[in-house]
Amino acid sequence: MQFCLFSFALIILNCMDYGHCQPGPNYGPNPICKGCLSCSKDNGCIRCQHKLFFFLRREGMRQYGECLHSCPSGYYGLRTPDMNRCSRCRIENCDSCFSRDFCTKCKTGFYSHRGRCFRGCPAGFAALEELMECVEGCEVGQWSEWGACSRNNKTCGFKWGLETRTRQIVKKPAKDTIPCPTIAESRRCKMAMRHCPGGKCRQKKEEKNLMERAQKQHSIFLATDKTSQ
């Protein structure tokens, strides 16, 4: 019994003095040794328990190992038969990644698109602000030719008018909140014919008819007035 107690005391002193512990529920007096299979007071964890990830933390000129349940920002968990490790994301402006080359969350101010991070979404994609992701945008076709220059539904009778061109929506956006580009636009134009064909003749004829009707009504009025006298 005394021999067993003496052996246990030696193990505890060994952990305190040299900072390395073997598998078991006791991780030694150093908090950094938590989760370690083996630990050094100078370098921290050297090997981790099976389900934990080994992470090499750097603080200035010093670096030491830690055993973590999940990897910190900018790293992803890589499981191997030998030991699970935290590997750095190799994607620029990535906050967390699924693998070395696929980002799942970008840093603030960047949009996620197909595992990469962008300051602005690529052509053909629109920004979904609530998720900071790039989704398929509204796709439109080519512009039509400019229409006839007109004003008040007339293509003559004025010096200036408007001409319009349009294009069709060929693919609706992934979200209803994503706007489509404009599908119609107009611009000022000069009409080909300032005066409509026969416009002046028609106007003179209408004026003549009005004058004749006025003269006829006046003659009827005079005749009626004489009869009443």
Long-range contact set of residues 23-27: C-beta below 8 Å, sequence gap at least 24: 23/49
Segment 181-212, tens digit of pLDDT = 888 999 999 988 888 876 555 556 666 666 77
Q: What is the pLDDT of residue 19?
A: 39
Position with higher pLDDT, 95 vs 1: 95
125-128: strand order across its sheet: 116-118, 111-113, 133-136, 125-128
Judged on CB neighbours under 10 Å (0-12, 13-18, 19+), 132 is middle
**Is 45:36 a contact under the CB 8 Å cutoff?**
yes
Q: Pick the more confident residue, 223 or 171.
A: 171
Residue 29 has pLDDT above 60, yes or no: no
**Hey, how many other C-beta atoms are within 10 angstroms of the C-beta on 27?**
19
So what's the pLDDT on residue 24?
38
Q: Which residues, other chains included, contact 74 with Cβ-Cβ below 8 Å and sequence gap of 6+?
A: 88, 89, 94, 95, 96
Over residues 37-64, the mean pLDDT reads: 84
DSSP secondary structure code for residue 151 in this structure: B
**Whole-structure pTM over 0.75, yes or no?**
no
